[in-house]
């Protein structure tokens, strides 16, 4: 027997250790389409409970939009369920190139290549375009998928302190002996919701002959005046060499991602990126839905504008209640609790009040930075937000944290 008793026991011990550390992730079963209102079965076996969803990446509320669902259905009828192939054998349909063209136009780049996910795009892009003569200089808070991609690449690795442009400049100076330099950052950072200083990063890249990579997963569709992303917000459209982003958040929320940018770099990914070469093509049903999403958000900024209004209303509401939030302008709004148990307790009580949020703590965020990450959606209306604020006020009062700042919360609960 390959999976001998001792082997099984060793894995059971590992799982027990994860539980003991309070890091065990449990799935909650949702019995409805994704949206502002969802039905959640939690714990498993419990009757489904109607709650307001404040933790989805459904920023534009398009995950279950009837036009997107209808387009996906038409795509299913017209192009089938699957292609049983990678892209370069017999897995590329006309609609794949159509979607890549629309993404190129939307992101303001030269070309685009679809991947099964943005995780895959980030895993494959660095190895495809860099060699051991080059260097990658990354913000220290980039997404885990970027870290994995960098580990797969033979280029030298270096980092700069989060959003510290002086430190980045110092690193660029240190690496002038390398053949190529690639600055790597998220557009919007997923934990704090803060934006990269892309205008300054691009200026440094021009000064020190470096390329710029930006992961726009938490930005595409809604950051910037017309939702093009952080590069639009910072006034550097067309100046980013590599953009990766996802179709799994604002852009329909299904799955799929892409590398978009300079024509030559995208072509190199088509030739070399292993997740592209060895993974199945993105399913036609998702491609069809994503094309519709881009049509919807290219024609009007209505959803993006509503999300902006919701974000402002929510941020102001939480501040008025007296909760400690991370300042910023993105629809990622972390409510800071600093203590891991407190974050879990508050999330549990909010669920009882009909608000679905999740507590995050180390190692997802830094030690002593436990929080509840709330995320706004254009699918929320003011009623949802008011009910959410009322629940946060009630639970916040129960724990005596309203009006308290960081030091006071830590003094009360520890970090």
Q: Based on CB atoms, which residue is closest to another protein, 114 or 138?
A: 138
Determine the 3-state secondary structure of 202 from DSSP.
helix
Beginning with the edge strand found earlier in the chain, give each strand of the sheet holding 257-261 in spatial order: 111-115, 257-261, 242-246, 211-215, 181-186, 135-139, 156-160
Burial class (CB in 10 A: 0-12, 13-18, 19+), 229: buried
Q: What angle do CA 44, 394, 320 make, to 5 degrees?
A: 125
Angle, nearest 10°, between helix axes 165-174 and 198-207? 20
Determine the 3-state secondary structure of 204 from DSSP.
helix
Give me the least distance between CB of 143 and another protein, in Å please.
Answer: 5
CB atoms within 10 A of CB 6: 7
247 forms beta bridges with none
Phi, psi dihedrals of residue 15, rounded to the nearest 5°? -65, -40
Q: What angle do CA 269, 132, 141 make, to 5 degrees?
A: 75
Give me the least distance between CB of 267 and another protein, in Å please.
Answer: 25
Q: Are strands 49-53 and 355-356 parallel, antiparallel or unpaired?
A: parallel
Helix (H) or strand (E) holding 264: helix 263-272
- Sorted by sequence, the CB contacts under 8 Å of residue 302 that are 6+ apart come out as none
Kindly state the tokens that stand for 81.
């369920």
Give me the least distance between CB of 364 and another protein, in Å please.
Answer: 5
Q: What does the binding site for another protein look like in residue numbers (CB under 8 A)? A: 138, 140-144, 147, 150-151, 156-159, 190-191, 360, 362-366, 373
Catalytic residues: 190, 218, 249
Give me the least distance between CB of 257 and another protein, in Å please.
Answer: 13
Give me the least distance between CB of 268 and another protein, in Å please.
Answer: 22
Determine the 3-state secondary structure of 390 from DSSP.
helix
Q: Based on CB atoms, which residue is closest to another protein, 222 or 360?
A: 360
Give me the least distance between CB of 357 and another protein, in Å please.
Answer: 13
Give me the least distance between CB of 230 and another protein, in Å please.
Answer: 17
Kindly state the tokens that stand for 109.
């780049």
Q: Based on CB atoms, which residue is closest to another protein, 112 or 220?
A: 220
In contact, 355 and 50? CB cutoff 8 Å: no
Closest C-alpha among 294, 308, 122 to residue 217: 122
**What is the Cα Rg of the chain in Å?**
22
Measured between alpha carbons, how far is 293 from 270 in angstroms, rounded to an integer?
Answer: 24
Helix (H) or strand (E) holding 137: strand 135-139
Give me the least distance between CB of 147 and another protein, in Å please.
Answer: 5
Q: Residue 374: is the preceding peptide bond cis (ω within 30°)?
A: no
Q: Based on CB atoms, which residue is closest to another protein, 156 or 165?
A: 156
Q: Based on CB atoms, which residue is closest to another protein, 190 or 310?
A: 190
Kindly state the tokens that stand for 165.
């442009």
Measured between alpha carbons, how far is 388 from 413 in angstroms, rounded to an integer?
Answer: 24
């Amino acid at each position: 027997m390959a999976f001998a008793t001792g082997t099984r026991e060793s894995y059971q011990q590992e799982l027990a250790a994860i539980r003991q550390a309070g890091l065990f992730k449990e799935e909650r079963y949702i019995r409805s389409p994704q949206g502002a209102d969802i039905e959640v079965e939690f714990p498993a076996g419990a009757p489904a409970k109607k709650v307001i969803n404040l933790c989805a990446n459904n920023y534009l509320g398009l995950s279950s939009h009837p036009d997107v669902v209808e387009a996906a259905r038409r795509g299913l009828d017209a192009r089938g369920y699957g292609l049983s192939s990678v892209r370069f054998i017999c897995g590329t349909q006309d609609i794949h190139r159509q979607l890549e063209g629309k993404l190129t136009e939307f992101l303001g780049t030269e070309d685009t290549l679809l991947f099964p996910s943005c995780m895959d795009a980030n895993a494959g892009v660095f190895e495809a375009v860099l060699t051991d003569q080059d260097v990658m200089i990354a913000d220290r808070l980039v997404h885990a998928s970027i870290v994995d991609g960098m580990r797969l690449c033979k280029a030298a690795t270096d980092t700069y302190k989060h959003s510290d442009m002086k430190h980045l400049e110092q690193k660029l100076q240190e690496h002038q002996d390398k053949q190529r330099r690639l600055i790597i950052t998220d557009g919007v950072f997923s934990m704090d919701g803060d934006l990269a200083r892309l205008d300054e990063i691009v200026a440094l890249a021009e000064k020190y002959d470096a390329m710029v990579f930006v992961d726009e997963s938490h930005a595409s569709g809604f950051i910037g005046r017309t939702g093009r992303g952080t590069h639009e917000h910072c006034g550097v459209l067309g100046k980013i060499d590599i953009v990766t982003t996802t179709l799994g958040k604002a852009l329909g929320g299904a799955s799929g991602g892409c590398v978009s940018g300079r024509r030559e770099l995208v072509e190199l990914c088509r030739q070399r990126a292993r997740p592209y070469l060895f993974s199945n093509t993105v399913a036609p049903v998702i491609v069809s839905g994503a094309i519709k999403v881009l049509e919807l958000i290219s024609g009007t900024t209505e959803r993006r504008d509503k999300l902006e209004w919701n974000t402002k209303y929510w941020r102001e509401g939480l501040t008025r209640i007296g909760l400690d939030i991370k300042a910023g302008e993105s629809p990622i709004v972390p409510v800071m609790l600093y203590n891991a148990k407190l974050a879990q307790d508050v999330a549990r009580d909010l669920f009882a009040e009909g608000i679905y949020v999740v507590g995050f703590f180390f190692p997802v965020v830094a030690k002593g930075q436990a929080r509840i990450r709330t995320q706004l959606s254009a699918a929320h209306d003011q009623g949802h937000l008011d009910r959410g604020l009322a629940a946060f006020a009630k639970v916040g009062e129960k724990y005596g944290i309203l009006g308290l700042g960081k030091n006071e919360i830590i003094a009360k609960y520890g970090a």
